Amino acid sequence: MRVSKEFKVGLLVVLGLLLLFVGVNFLKGGGLFGKNREFYAVFDQSAGLQPSNEVQLNGVKVGQVLEVGLHDNDASKVVVKFSIEKDELKIPKTSEVWLISADILGTKALELQMKNDPMDVADISYYEDQDTFDLAQTQQSIEDQISEELLPLKKKTEELIGSVESIIVSVNAFWDTSAAYTIDESLYEVRDAISTFGELANNLSILVANETEQVDRILKDVHEITDNLSNKSEQISNVIDNISALSDTLADSDIKSVIVEAKTTLTEVNAVLSEVNSGQGTLGKLLHSDSLHDELVKSNISLQNLLDDFSANPNKFVHFSVFGRKVKGYQTTKEREKILDGVIDSVQFGN
């Protein structure tokens, strides 16, 4: 069978169109032999995301962006349609989709971040074809990160430049003839101070050299004192033990009660002395009244006169009769003689 040239040309055109359709569909993210799963995500802005940008999982391409457009009901939101090529890839509903910068040039891409708990695998639900992701985030671009990092540095650099300029202006304003003269005077004063300090150091060296012997003697005395203390350490320990024992004895003794009793006794003695000083009681009357003393003096004088009279005229008081003749006058007995002897002895003892 002979094929005409027109048929061949038509067949080539059809095959070319078919290849073109397949190629365009592939570039848009469609499968060559079947339709891939498609999902949606809602972002606040597209940040330059274009169709045919990659969808990555852990840095590996797993799909492509199909469409980027405004939300039908909210123009402030952007809806992104993307496909996942691998049918065996299951995406849990706890996963997130991020709008990221894929390289330093700012090429945008979508990144899947799967989050599931291995302990709850049986309870995990997965996204199905045409589902919309609940968690969609926009990652800060590299340009924004660089700007955010460089902006504070820029502000600090500008502030530093301003400070340096103000310092330079202040130095220029200060550096005139009077300022230079003041600095020279200050340098002269510093030089004089250094010279004085050198003289002081020299004098101190001379003083130390002259007093070295005395310092050595003081150190020797201190050494002897420490030796004596070391030799007497046992005695010092005994003294400390004795003091400790004495303090324990004092602590154990009832000193408080003794002090209270002594205070009470002193109070009573003070009361008695107060009464004596005020002339109350027998002792107070004896100390403050002369009547007893006068009576004793009178009694002493009377007894002395009696003794003198008795010595001069004994017959006047005592009569002895050998023959039993009644004699006039004072008659004595043995009892009266004892009483009289006692009175005489007391009067002589009082004198």
pLDDT of residue 331: 60
pLDDT of residue 255: 73
pLDDT of residue 13: 84
Query: Which parts of the chain have pLDDT scores under 50?
Result: 322-323
Q: How many angstroms separate the Cα of 40 from the Cα of each of 4, 132, 152, 253?
A: 50, 4, 38, 97
Dump pLDDT digits (tens) for 144-203: 666 666 777 778 888 888 888 888 777 676 655 555 667 667 778 888 888 888 888 888
pLDDT of residue 16: 86
Q: How many angstroms separate the Cα of 297 from the Cα of each of 95, 287, 292, 310, 351?
A: 135, 16, 9, 20, 11
DSSP one-letter string for 94-112 = T-EEEEEE-STT--EEEEE
pLDDT of residue 171: 67
Tokens 């997965």 label which residue?
126
Q: Read off the tokens for 265.
A: 């006794």
Phi, psi of 323 (to 5 degrees): -100, 5
> Is the CA virtual torsion 156, 158, 160, 166 positive or negative?
negative
Q: Which residues contact 340 (CB under 8 A, 6 or more apart)?
A: 332
pTM beyond 0.85: no
Give the β-pairing of 108-113 and 54-57: parallel
pLDDT of residue 112: 87
pLDDT of residue 120: 55
What's CA 196's distance to the chain center, in Å? 46
Cα torsion 223, 229, 231, 233 to 10°: value is: -150
pLDDT of residue 123: 66
